[in-house]
Amino acid sequence: MRRDRLFLATTLTAIFTADLYFILLPKLRSMGRGSRQFCLCGPNNLTLPGQEGLATPPLSNWTSESPLVGAITDPTDGGSKLDRLFSHPLYNIQTPVLGPEERLLQAEQLMEYYRRKVSRWERHMKLYSEAAAISNITVTEHEVTFDPNASWLKFHLGINRYALYSRDDPTIPQLLKDMEIMTVVSADYTQDEKALKGSCDCTQVVKPSGHHLKLALKMRNFAKAMFKPMRQERDDETPEDFFYFIDFQRHNAEIAAFHLDRILDFRRVPPVAGRLVNITREVLLVTHNEDLRSVFFTSPANNTCFFAKCLYVCKTEYAVCGGPDLLEGSLSAYLPGLSIAPRISIPNPWIRSYTFNGREEWEVNPFYCDTIKQMYPYNSGNRLLNIIDMSIFDFLIGNMDRHHYEIFTKFGDEGFLLHLDNARGFGKHSQDELSILAPLSQCCISFVCRSTLLRLQLLAQPGFRLSDVMRESLEGDPLQPILTEPHLLALDRRLQKILKVIQRCVRRLGENEVITKDFVKATARPQTATDRRKSR
């Protein structure tokens, strides 16, 4: 009898606790928020081009297969789906006029910064040429000219509080073309590669440096891009026994991630273009770094190869090789230097354990998000919403390696998150790693922006299918095909899973508790496909 009473008391306690957590507590939180109507998912006063039904779309009785907004229809007239997507009102949301404080850099400030860099470069080259002549080292010298109207400078000047570039900025297509053809005048290790030198420990570091190889290339007009060489064939999947922290870095993943970020309208990935690089002429013969020159060798197949120089891996089996000199790679446009545009790197609250057996708190505590919501800077503003956007992006590309994120210090806590270093995405098309969506699934209350959700629903429709617009967008890259069909189809499958997670939250807690409003009013006409093509 006592056991029955104890069991009944335990059951009633569990039911009361569940009611308190899932029903009463969300209502109390909602009351505590009072009359809050909008939040800063993006700018403070987002406005949507006039189209009936879009500003306040109904969310009741929606499924992941049906349109979220009645005004959205599937185009059936053929033609470019990508053009129609970017002409849609959801991709023409108006932002406030940008003042000096909303822009990362001012033109005078940036020009003065690069005038000093040009002077330093000229002094450096004069001294290096004299030293090379004495040492009998052959260095290819190129004429270098600074162009204040260069596309990469316009890209830097276009960075603002809300994104790295505007939706219709003609600078971005031009920058992609420039990176494909610009003459390389200098090659070097990146700063983080240099930081590893002398501090590598075979007993502590798991991932081989050869899986992590990247170079900084400087162009004739002082543009700078990060080169990541081809490490894996398009149709190769990451081996099942690989941990995410020893996975290859894939050049095509960097390219595809930029295009996906643009399609999702986040615009937080710097422009990336594919390029076939002659590693003898465009790396070995132009580098001024003796450490980099020393890791080049000729393979038994008579191909030119090189590897990363670090104490724990200086092995030819981790090298990358040309055929015999040409090597595929991705070129990512550098952001403005830290001395002129400081950034800070912040650990991801949903960071993974970088050990073989460890687990983080979020992996074992389903209520972990409640703790995060009480912590600065996630207890107010946009930061947590941006983390969730980032998790959606990472789930779509299959990236488990988001251990940190970066923000520009000028924009403070309300700045957007930079989606950098995406080369460990697109490794497995046959597996969907649902744990990447932990921020989304654990933070159900006020956790997704209406604009983000509407775009996801739009991309789930046949007329704007995500795989189709990605395929079309990637066709413009010189290294196409960038992704194989299984990877493209995996995007559609993962998108449906994201929408189902949101749907479950809406059904459990209600639309008002889950969806954060970020539309204010309709004031402008949508951009047409013709307008879009003119801006390219």
Whole-number pLDDT of residue 340: 94
Reported as half-sphere exposure (CB side, CA atoms, 13 A), residue 361 has a value of 8
Query: Does the annotation place 334 within a ligand binding site?
Result: yes
CA distance 286 to 400: 35
> Does 401 participate in catalysis according to the annotation?
yes
Whole-number pLDDT of residue 202: 38
Reported as half-sphere exposure (CB side, CA atoms, 13 A), residue 155 has a value of 26
pLDDT in tens, the chain (536 residues): 555 665 556 665 655 555 554 444 444 444 444 333 334 454 444 555 544 334 334 444 444 343 444 444 455 556 899 999 999 999 988 777 888 889 999 999 999 998 898 888 888 888 877 777 777 776 677 778 888 999 999 999 999 999 999 988 999 999 999 999 999 999 998 876 655 554 544 344 334 434 468 899 999 888 999 999 998 888 887 777 666 666 678 999 999 999 999 999 999 999 999 999 999 999 999 998 888 888 899 999 999 998 876 544 445 557 889 999 999 999 999 999 999 999 999 999 999 887 777 788 998 998 999 999 999 999 888 899 999 999 999 999 999 889 899 999 999 888 899 999 999 899 889 889 999 999 999 998 767 888 899 999 999 999 999 999 999 999 999 999 999 999 999 999 999 999 999 999 999 888 888 888 765 443 344 444 444 444 44
Of the residues 401, 468, 477, 518, only one is catalytic, namely: 401
Query: Does the annotation place 406 within a ligand binding site?
Result: yes
Helices (H), 229-295: 251-263, 290-294
Predicted TM-score of the model (pTM): 0.83
CA distance 389 to 496: 16
CA distance 334 to 320: 23
Give the DSSP letter string of 355-369: SSS---HHHH-TTHH
Whole-number pLDDT of residue 196: 53
Burial level of 175, CB count in 10 A (0-12/13-18/19+)? buried
Cis geometry, peptide bond prior to residue 377 (ω within 30 degrees of 0): yes
CB of 224 closer than 8 Å to CB of 335: no
Query: Does the annotation place 333 within a ligand binding site?
Result: yes
Strand-pairing partners, residue 345, are: 406
Beta strands in 354-502 (DSSP E): 404-408, 448-449
CB of 397 closer than 8 Å to CB of 238: no
Query: Does the annotation place 441 within a ligand binding site?
Result: no
Query: Does the annotation place 473 within a ligand binding site?
Result: no
